[in-house]
Amino acid sequence: MHLAEGKVGFRNTSIFDKAGPQIGGKSDPKESASASPLCPQCGSKRLYRDGFRYLADGSSVQRWLCRDCSYRFSEKPPQKKLKWQINTSNALVSKRRICANRKEAKNLTQATETKTVAGEKERLPQDAKGLITKFMAYLEREGYSQGISYPATLKHLVKDGANLLDPENVKAVIAQQKKKNGEPLKDSVKMLATYAYDAFCKMQSIKWNMPTYRQGETTLYIHDEKDLDLLISTASRRMATYLQCLKETFADPGEILRLEWIDLKDNVLSINHPVKGHLPGKYKLSPRLTAMLNALPRVDKRIFPMTYACAIDSLKKLRKRAAAKFQNPVLLTACFKSYRHWGGSMLAHVTNGNVLVIKKMLRHKSIQNTMKYIHTIEFKEEDYEETVATTPEEIRQLGKAGWAKYDEMTVNGTQMHFYRKPKRFGGLKTAL
């Protein structure tokens, strides 16, 4: 395999390690013994082989998985050089790629954009990178949550051209931030950016007037239970188990990702690592979910050893596959929190809006977060159970059991009273 000399991210011209096959032929033992790739994302040498990428011409390219950052990459296939691309020194001339070795790449100017063989990645200026590293240490000392997104938020601001040491410049960048499609960001997202920069200003002892952004009130869209079950039935074994956990515990997606095997005892699952604003809790699982969890391989201390970004990517592919399979475009709008919103709304209906019960089940610290679930759910006819009462005693028993009367009629001189209620919801019996 022919590569351009000194590409960023590799120690030499070969991308394969000791046992790595080369494209179109066998590897040279002398060359492969000293050749091994580096992760373009973090520069780590700790890599797994992740199969091959098969090309249209029948050749193959080795794929790699970084053990440190879980980044997957593969070498680009060799391309034939045209005459105009070859100079007198037989070197590949390209205006889009900066060729340098690892030592030279570290000495590039702050505005230089380096590109790796796995794709393009814009690097932060050295001064901003140092400030963000210092900021991460500050957050740890001050007791902020380990998974807080403040450092990532500041990185986005820097990439948008913000000078972290100039508050007025940062406020202007936050006000002008837009999505990839060109639409302006919501005020709730800008509000989080101001909170992140406010913590940075406290670290640097910078005085600034914090702009006011308020989170808009939105009405939750509640998916039908059958739509959520369609996603579970279409998902892979691990993803189906993850979604079933969300459905039975009403937990936040991040809380399920933090679950460890020691948190599962028989059919009781403990939420010991809640997200901000939530309390820990325990839930009694159904036999189905217990069997699904026990069938998963225990290769890590965590039950679901994946990042949130990886889970989101898997969900996007799952939604497209399920929507095409069942011809149901509503599935494209489902997200991980749809299961929590559905569970909270069902609890509100079953308990007749008992805020304290809902707050306990959803493990909210503040009752204000519980109030958004207090609304009416629209049920269809197939979602109800129906029964008939003909005597005063039967009417009294149905009323005590939560049945609602919706019609009555006289048949052959007998007064018949029709009652109904939503089908049984077992969410109230899952919390311990």
Q: 370-382: per-residue pLDDT in tens?
A: 877 766 555 555 6
**Across 60-69, 195-204, 217-226, which has the greatest mean pLDDT?**
195-204
pLDDT at 271: 93
What are the contacts of 387-391 at 24+ separation with CB within 8 A?
Answer: 387/418, 387/419, 387/420, 388/416, 388/417, 388/418, 388/419, 389/416, 389/417, 389/419, 390/414, 390/415, 390/416, 390/417
pLDDT given at position 109: 41
Q: What pLDDT score was predicted for residue 35?
A: 55
Confidence of residue 315 (pLDDT cuts 50, 70, 90): very high
Judge whether residue 216 has pLDDT over 60.
yes
- pLDDT at 83 (0 to 100): 47
Rounded to the nearest integer, the mean pLDDT of the chain is: 77
Per DSSP, which regions of 55-187 are E strands? Answer: 60-66, 72-74, 115-116, 119-120
What is the C-alpha to C-alpha distance for residues 103 and 119, in angstroms, rounded to an integer? 20
**Percent of the chain's residues with pLDDT above 70:** 74
Is the model more confident about 188 or about 335? Answer: 335
Q: Which residue has better confidence, 174 or 383?
A: 174
pLDDT higher than threshold 90 for residue 228: yes
Distance CA 211, CA 177 (A): 14
pLDDT at 420 over 50: yes
Where would I find the H helices in 114-166? 126-141, 150-159
For residues 389 and 406, the answer to whether their CB atoms sit within 8 Å is: no
Q: Give the CATH class of 246-285+296-373.
A: mainly alpha
Averaged pLDDT, 274-302: 91
Q: What is the rounded average pLDDT of the residues 286-307?
A: 92
Q: Cα dist. 362→258, 358, 367, 405, 422 in Å?
A: 17, 6, 10, 30, 21
In this predicted structure, the answer to whether residue 331 has a pLDDT above a threshold of 90 is yes
Closest CA to 176 of 163, 168, 167, 185: 185
CA distance 8 to 104: 9
- Per-residue pLDDT band for 302 (boundaries 50, 70, 90) equals very high
Beta carbons within 8 Å of 382's beta carbon, 6+ residues apart: none
Band of pLDDT at residue 348, cut at 50, 70 and 90: confident
Over 50: is that where the pLDDT of 120 sits? no
β 404-411/281-284 pair status: unpaired
More confidently predicted of 429 and 54? 54
Instruction: Work out the average pLDDT over 349-353.
Output: 75
**DSSP letter, residue 89:** T
User: What pLDDT, on the 0 to 100 scale, is given for residue 12?
Assistant: 38
**Length of the chain in residues, anyone?**
432
As separate numbers, helices (DSSP H) first and strands (DSSP E) second, the chain gives 14, 11
Say if residue 423's pLDDT is above 80: no
225 token code pair: 């239970």
The whole-angstrom separation of Cα 12 and Cα 36 is 8
Task: Please give the pLDDT value at position 428.
Answer: 52
